[in-house]
C-alpha cells in the first residue's frame, strides 16, 4: 500500500494542449499512464466505442496490454489488431493494402476509429490507411517514440514511401486526439530517444531563447530519461508545432510557416539519403548534424553570431548526438551532398533552399544560398 500511496502522491494530471485548425480542433494529451486510461480519454471524441489498432512487432508486446486494458475498462470493442514489422520498410503501399484488407475484412466501418500505437512509421502508415479507408475514418495517434511525441503525431501529415523517394504518397488527415503517454518512452532504446531529442533541440532553436536555454539546461537529463524533462519537452514541442501548423495547415506558405520546421533538414535529408535508410544513420542523428551545419552556414553568411554554431554543436554532442560531419565516422562527397540538396523535395528549380537562423527564435528561409559557399563549408567540415 505504501507504493500505491507514493504512486498516488506522485501522480500528475495529464497536460492538455489544444491544436486549433480551421476544420476541426483537437487536443494533445501528455502524461504517464495514458494508454491504461485510453478508453475514458477517447470516448468523448470518437463516434463509437469500436476501434482497430495498428502497431509494430516491437511496440505491440510492450504496450498493447495497457492499451487493451484501458479500452476494455470503458467498454470499447477491438475490431482488429494489425501488426507490421518494425522499421521504415513498413511504410510502403503493399503494407497499406494489407492493412486495409485486414481492417475492412474484420468489419471496420465508418464509425470505427483507427488507433496508431507506435513511432512515426506506424503513425504515418496507419494515418494514411485511415485517410483512405472508406474515404476517411476517425484516427487517433498513440505515439510511443520521442520523435513521434514531439513531431510526427501533430500536424496531420500521413503517408508512405515509394522506391523513388520518401513520403511521396500521402494525405493530410488530422487525428481526433493525440495521447502522448510519456511512460512508454521508458522502453525506448536510448539511441532512439537521443534521435528524437534532435527535433526537440530544433524546436528550441525555432521557438526562442526560453526553450533553447531550457534545452541547454535540461537536455542531458532528458536523454537520461528524466520523466519531468520528457513531459516538458513534449508539451513545448507540441505547442510550437501546433502553432506553426495552425498558421499553415497545408504547408502553403513558401517562406515561413511549416517550411521553418525544416531547420537542419536540407543537410539532414542529404546525409540520410547518402547513408541509405537501413538504420546506419537515424533521421534525428542526421538532423542533429544538419542543425550544426545550418548554424555554421548562418554564421558564415553573417546572419547569426559567430558563437551560435559552437553552442549548438556542443549542446547536441553533450546529449550524445553526432553534431558534426566527422562524428559520423564515414566520408561524404561534397558534390554528392550538394546534388542531393538540389533535388530535395522542397528545392525549387535546383536552387538550394535552407532554413537559416539569426538567433534562437529567428529562423527564416533563404532560397538563394550560393552553392560555392555551401561547398566550402562542407569541405571545411571534412568532406
Ligand atoms: P519508428 O516508428 O521506426 O520507431 C523507431 C523504433 O523504435 C522502431 O524499431 C520501433 O519498433 C521502436 N519503438 C517505438 N516505440 C517504442 C517503445 N516505446 N519502446 C521500444 N521500442 C519502441 O521511427 P520514429 O523515429 O518514431 O519515426 C520515424 C518516421 O516518422 C519516419 O518514417 C518519418 O518519415 C516519420 N515522420 C513523420 C512526420 C509527420 O509529420 N508525419 C514527421 C517526422 C517524421
Ligand atoms: Mg524531422
Residue 14 is given by DSSP the state P
Closest to 125 measured CA to CA, from 59, 58, 170, 192: 170
pTM attached to this predicted model: 0.96
Specify the range with the lowest mean pLDDT, choosing from 40-54, 315-329, 346-360.
346-360
Please choose, from the candidates 107, 105, 125, 103, the residue with its C-alpha nearest in 3D space to the C-alpha of residue 116: 125
Q: Looking at residue 6, what is its pLDDT?
A: 80
pLDDT (tens digit per residue) in 113-164: 999 999 999 999 999 999 999 999 999 999 999 999 999 999 999 999 999 8
- Ligand 2 center to residue 196 CA distance, Å? 9
pLDDT in tens, 258-278: 999 999 999 999 999 999 888
Nearest to 23 by CA among 172, 230, 149: 172
Nearest CA-CA partner of 38 in 181, 174, 138: 181
The model's pLDDT over 62-116, given as tens digits with 9 standing for 90+, comes to 999 999 999 999 999 999 999 999 999 999 999 999 999 999 999 999 999 999 9
**pLDDT tens profile 176-186:** 999 999 999 99
Residue 220, ligand 1, Cβ within 6 A? no
Mean pLDDT calculated for residue range 164-183: 96
Backbone CA torsion sign across 292, 217, 146, 186:
positive
Q: Within 13 Å of residue 321, how many CA atoms lie on the same side as its CB?
A: 34
Q: Alpha-carbon distance 329 to 140, whole Å?
A: 39
Interface predicted TM-score (ipTM) of this complex, two decimals: 0.99
- Residue ID of nearest Cα to ligand 1 atom 4: 119
pLDDT on residue 12: 76
The reported pLDDT for the residue numbered 350 is: 74
Per 3-state DSSP, what percentage of the chain is helix, strand, and coil (rounded to 5)?
55, 20, 30
Catalytically active residues, by annotation? 135, 157, 199, 241, 251, 258, 262, 265, 269, 283
100 C-alpha to ligand 1 centroid (Å): 21
Question: So what's the pLDDT on residue 183?
Answer: 98
- What is the three-state SS of 25-50? CEEEEEECCCHHHHHHHHHHHCCCCE
Amino acid at each position: 500500500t505504501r507504493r500505491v500511496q507514493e504512486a498516488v502522491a506522485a501522480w500528475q494530471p495529464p497536460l492538455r494542449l489544444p491544436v486549433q485548425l480551421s476544420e476541426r480542433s483537437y487536443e494533445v494529451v501528455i502524461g504517464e499512464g495514458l494508454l491504461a486510461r485510453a478508453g475514458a480519454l477517447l470516448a468523448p471524441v470518437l463516434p463509437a466505442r469500436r476501434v482497430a489498432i495498428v502497431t509494430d512487432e516491437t511496440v505491440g508486446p510492450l504496450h498493447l496490454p495497457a492499451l487493451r486494458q484501458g479500452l476494455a475498462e470503458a467498454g470499447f470493442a477491438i475490431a482488429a489488431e494489425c501488426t507490421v514489422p518494425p522499421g521504415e520498410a513498413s511504410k510502403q503501399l503493399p503494407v497499406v493494402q494489407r492493412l486495409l484488407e485486414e481492417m475492412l475484412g474484420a468489419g471496420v466501418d465508418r464509425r470505427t476509429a483507427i488507433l496508431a500505437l507506435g513511432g512515426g512509421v506506424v503513425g504515418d502508415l496507419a494515418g494514411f490507411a485511415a485517410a483512405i479507408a472508406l474515404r476517411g475514418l476517425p484516427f487517433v495517434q498513440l505515439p510511443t517514440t520521442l520523435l513521434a511525441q514531439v513531431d510526427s503525431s501533430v500536424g496531420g501529415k500521413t503517408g508512405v514511401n515509394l522506391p523513388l523517394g520518401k513520403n511521396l504518397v500521402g494525405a493530410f488527415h488530422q487525428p481526433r486526439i493525440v495521447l502522448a503517454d510519456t511512460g512508454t518512452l521508458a522502453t525506448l532504446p536510448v539511441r532512439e530517444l537521443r534521435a528524437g531529442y534532435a527535433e526537440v533541440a530544433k524546436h528550441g532553436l525555432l521557438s526562442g531563447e526560453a526553450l533553447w536555454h531550457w534545452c541547454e539546461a535540461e537536455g542531458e537529463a532528458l536523454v537520461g530519461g528524466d520523466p519531468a524533462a520528457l513531459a516538458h519537452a513534449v508539451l513545448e514541442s507540441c505547442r510550437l508545432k501546433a502553432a506553426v501548423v495552425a498558421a499553415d495547415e497545408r504547408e502553403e506558405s513558401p517562406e515561413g510557416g511549416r517550411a521553418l520546421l525544416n531547420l537542419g533538414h536540407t543537410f539532414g535529408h542529404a546525409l540520410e539519403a547518402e547513408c541509405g535508410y537501413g538504420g546506419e544513420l537515424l533521421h534525428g542523428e542526421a538532423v542533429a548534424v544538419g542543425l550544426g551545419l545550418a548554424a555554421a552556414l548562418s554564421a558564415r553568411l553573417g546572419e547569426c553570431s559567430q558563437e551560435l554554431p559552437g553552442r549548438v554543436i556542443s549542446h547536441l554532442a553533450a546529449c550524445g548526438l553526432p553534431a558534426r560531419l566527422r562524428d559520423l565516422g564515414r566520408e561524404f562527397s561534397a558534390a554528392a551532398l550538394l546534388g542531393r540538396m538540389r533535388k530535395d523535395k522542397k528545392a525549387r528549380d535546383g536552387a538550394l533552399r535552407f532554413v537559416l537562423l539569426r538567433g534562437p527564435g529567428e529562423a527564416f528561409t533563404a532560397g538563394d544560398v550560393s552553392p560555392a559557399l555551401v561547398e566550402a563549408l562542407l569541405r571545411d567540415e571534412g568532406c
